[in-house]
Homo-oligomer: A and B are copies of this chain.
Amino acid sequence: MIVLLTDFGLDGPYTGQVQAALYRQAPGIPVISLFADLAAFDVQGAAYLLPSYTQGFAPGTVFLCVVDPGVGGPRPGMVVRADGRWFVGPGEGLFAILARRAGQIECWRLPDAERAAPSFHARDVFAPVAARLARGGGVTGEAASVETLLQPDWPDDLFRVLYIDRYGNAITGVRAAVIPDGAVLRTGDYLLSQARTFSDVARGVPFWYRNANGLVEIAVSQGRADRELGLRVGTGFRK
């Protein structure tokens, strides 16, 4: 299976061109979009979502990850193998948190793109590599040090809203496991108690919960946390 995490949007025309390249070069292998609306250009935010949203997939899954403001410039293209899963994409920090948390990790630097459109390496560089890996082919790049992936200055958890979902819920960069059970969180003037899920809370009440991928998420039961609490991508919160 090939899984896309991008800031391309699905409606057009980028995801479709990448899918077409994948279906042509890896026939019969399912292609799924997991995130198509990551915050545009926000490499750091994507880096903190990546490990939590990819950990449930089977070994051998190939993730094509593209938040790539530096496309066409000197930033390298990378292949990462972390705990049996493959990751392909630009190396500007996108795989930094994945690398920090992985048990087993290797990485490779892709050769420079020659005939690629300078604004669309996802289609012309990363998709061919992902298709090859999904077919069971080997890596063609040059082995690189895992240090090249890391961003030593980044914290272990990011106390920021990284993504607003269709309900207005705010997914953050903090693993629920690092917050004591029952802790109260604070964003702006709001205090947020913990709940197990939406239906445990009266309609209209804001709360935080451990979401289905293990991250702290801020929500309002049957309401929109983004509007009601003034949250958007980048908004901070604290314990």
Contact = CB atoms under 8 A, between A and B. Distances in A.
A103 to B, nearest CB: 22
Main secondary structure on A side of the interface with B: loop
A35 B13 contact: yes
Interface stretch (A36-44, A79-87, A144-152, A230-238): A36-44
Interface residues of A, number: 57
A202 interface: no
B198 A72 contact: yes
A12 B30 contact: no
A209 B119 contact: yes
19 contacts: A7-B167, A8-B166, A9-B166, A10-B11, A10-B33, A11-B35, A12-B33, A12-B37, A12-B38, A13-B34, A16-B32, A17-B34, A17-B53, A20-B32, A20-B34, A23-B32, A24-B58, A73-B200, A75-B199
